[in-house]
Amino acid sequence: MLLERILKADVVARLTASPPRVTEVRSIGGAYISYGKQLADAFVDAPMLLVEAIWKDQELYRKCVPQVHPDAQRLFAICAFQHLKDPRALDVLIWVIRTDEGVVRPHAIWLTADALGALGDPRAVPTLLQALGREPGAGALACKFALERCVNERTRGLVYSYAKFFLHEAPRRGALLMDVVKQAETPNQ
């Protein structure tokens, strides 16, 4: 991250001088989507600065992101990774889905699962399975959709094991996972 900050000093200077701004917020969900895209476009040359913003407070990022709830600022960065699809974000996104707490947790789970799904990296499967098991409603559904994009031949057995367990303990979640397994078995996946 430090190397990118040094090598991309021009990007840092440009973002500090003219940060992207949210023009109009009609809904929180709409703001995440539109501002995430703006951030992705602004940070396309320096995505590790967004990773840094998620892990710790960063002055440049605070200047770029509107002053909303402090946890919501991190959500904008997470949403940007849905558009950037930078594999270097995998570790920080896994960290968020495992540890995020607070007022915006349901949004964080949904957005992070979506970003992990956009990456499509099978290394996210164990984390998504754990989140699917503990998150209520929409969070579990987001994890299911992300799993559909991340499961491969190597991880299909793990998903099947979780599905069998959940079929007895939480039938709806088990059924969601069985759908993932069936989709992973189709030849075009």
Record the tokens describing residue 189, joined without a space.
Answer: 């996946």
Record the tokens describing residue 188, joined without a space.
Answer: 């075009």
- Distance in angstroms (rounded) separating the CA atoms of residues 89 and 76: 14
Name the nearest CA neighbour of 74 among 96, 41, 94, 48: 96
pLDDT of residue 61: 56
Record the tokens describing residue 142, joined without a space.
Answer: 């987001």
- pLDDT tens for the chain, 189 residues: list them: 556 665 566 766 666 565 555 555 555 566 667 777 877 887 777 777 777 766 665 555 555 555 555 566 677 778 888 888 888 889 888 988 888 676 667 788 888 999 999 999 999 999 999 999 888 888 889 999 999 999 998 999 999 999 999 888 888 888 888 988 888 887 554
Instruction: Please count the CA atoms within 13 angstroms of the CA of 103 that sit on its side-chain side.
Output: 7
Which uninterrupted H or E stretch holds 179?
helix 171-185
> Maximum distance among all alpha carbons in the chain?
56
pLDDT of residue 63: 59
pLDDT of residue 189: 43
pLDDT of residue 159: 92
- Distance in angstroms (rounded) separating the CA atoms of residues 70 and 162: 35
According to DSSP, residue 122 is labeled: G
